[in-house]
Structure 1
Amino acid sequence: MAKTRKPGVDKAAKAEAKAARKAASKERRSQLWQAFQIQRKEDSRLLPYMIGAFVLIVAIAVLIGVLVGNTFTYVTLIPLGIVLGLLVAFIIFGRRAQKSVYRKAEGQTGAAAWALDNLRGKWRVTPGVAATGHFDAVHRVIGRPGVIFVGEGSATRVKPLLAQEKKRTARLIGDIPIYDFVVGNGEGEVPLSKLERHLTKLPANITAKQMDSLESRLAALGTRMGPSAMPKGPLPPGAKMRGVQRTVRRK
């Protein structure tokens, strides 16, 4: 017979869980506020755009209420306009903050790996499947399109790496499509800020079950360098990387 939990224990557990949720929510709000303050100082257009969008949406809601002439509609549209205005203002903040982050990361070592790790959706990312001692790297992504190799660094050094990875992967996966491109601002390259959009535009060629099977097969290939040798995020220009580069060369 199952033991019944004491009411006092249940009450204490619920109170503890509630306190944890409150603390987590408070921390998220604090982080969001800090991010807003940083972005506001760096982006002089942020507040005018947010306030302008909010005022415009509320004004449209009020105008529709006045034109309709119905008291109930008028009273309903004002709160709705305020909520929609706040939502649009928040979306504007998120978009501009994201652009700012990508702009700062552009051209920095490890930026592509960082962007891939933050992809939304069911992507299977393996950073640094191949690299050079100069921190040119190839990252592997498995998704509905198939296998995608993303290179970052000097195009002249990365392209041979991409060709090698495509060749050894094709032997293992057969007819599953393989895509490859280099992240950068040169001709034929994909800018970092458009990386996620570029991936989502690729056609869906395989199912989720095929992705699982593909991931298991490609795990046997391993990598030519340990993921720990890759920087955990974009490295600023001029950062000291000699020790990390030695780690890459030893792999």
Structure 2
Amino acid sequence: MARSTTPEKRPGFFSQIRTLYTFTQKAFPWLPFLLIGILTLGVAAGIVVGYLIPPVAIWSIILWAVTGLMLGILASMMTMTRLSTRAMYRRLDGMAGAAGHVISTGLGRRWQASEMPVGVNPKTQEAVYRAIGRGGVVIIGEGSRGRLTRLVNDERMKVQRVASGVPITVLYVGHGDDDVPINKLAATIKKLPKAIDRATMAAVIKRIDSVSQSVTSLPIPKGIDPTKARAPRPR
């Protein structure tokens, strides 16, 4: 039987908005009241401007009110998008595999990172992830710091063997002393000062990839489905 070549139909704009709203409203039940307030404030501001700017006429006031409504809609969308990001991090917090999801989607093109861990303790679900960028090599531990010591040290030694002189930063995801909360992980990595140029970065990536053992047989930490944890965004 011939395979269907019909492309998969993507959700429409309003469908994505509805999904985004539903996702965010579950975390923030007061979201509808906030959005209504923003829209009302936008219309009210437009009416006030219509009265203040001559000539004062009904058509002018209506136009300014519509303008205020449009600005209110824009402000509502921006607010809902930011709240959806906070809702996503709330859902990810404490889930196994959250660090990999964040570094693989939130660091941008200046960093190379994978959602797959470079080291895993299959019994306890502790995992170690790695990101490489202009700030050097970052090793991220997810789980109990005490049980992560061996995994982190093994990864640090491997990097040092093939990338001598390149800065190595170790971060632990959590809420303890010196830990990095999951919602600040990407920002913390991005703030690292530039230590290597692009050519060195490319060379480090190539060297580390060449000596890294395949992790395809390692069990992926259970507890996170990135497609469900990611906050939907309108395109």
Identify which range, 187-196 or 28-37, moves more after superposition. Answer: 28-37
- What amino acid sits opposite 1:129 in the alignment? V
**TM-score, structure 2 as length reference:** 0.77
TM-score (norm 1): 0.73
For 2:142, the equivalent position in structure 1 comes to: 152
- 1:185-219, Cα deviation, whole Å (9 max, x unpaired): 11111111111221222223333443322211110
1:174 CA drift (Å) = 2.3
* Partner of residue 22, structure 2: 37
Equivalent position to 1:46, from 2, 8, 31: 31
1:58 is aligned to: 43
Identity %: 27
- 1:67 alignment partner in structure 2: 52
The correspondence for 2:208, drawn from 202, 211, 218, is 218
CA distance in 1, matches of 2:171, 2:130: 11
Match of 2:191 in 1: 201
1:24 aligns with 2:13: no
1:124 aligns with 2:112: yes
Residues 200 and 80 of structure 1, relative CA distance in 2, 3 Å threshold: farther
Instruction: Note closer, same or farther for the CA distance 1:175–1:91 as it changes in structure 2 (3 Å cut).
Output: same
Whose RCO is larger (CA < 8 A, sep 6+)? 2
CA shift for structure 1 position 67: 2.5
Aligned pairs, number? 215
Once the 2 structures are TM-superposed, how far is the Cα of residue 115 of structure 1 from its aligned partner? Answer: 1.8
Find the structure with the greater CA-based Rg: 1
Contact 2:120 2:218 in 1 (8 A): no
Matches within 5 A, 1:93-242: 93-122=80-109, 123-126=111-114, 127-133=116-122, 134-223=124-213, 225-226=215-216, 229-231=219-221, 234=224
Change (3 A) 1:198 1:80: farther
Q: Is the 8 A contact 1:140 1:147 kept in 2?
A: yes
Unaligned 5+ runs, structure 1: 1-18, 236-251
Q: Give me the whole-angstrom Cα distance separating, in 1, the residues matched to 2:26 and 2:164.
A: 52
Structure 2 unaligned regions, length at least 5: 1-5, 226-235
> Given that residues 49 and 92 in structure 1 are in contact (C-alpha distance below 8 angstroms), is that contact kept between their aligned partners in structure 2?
no
Runs of 4+ in 1 over 6 A off after TM superposition: 71-76
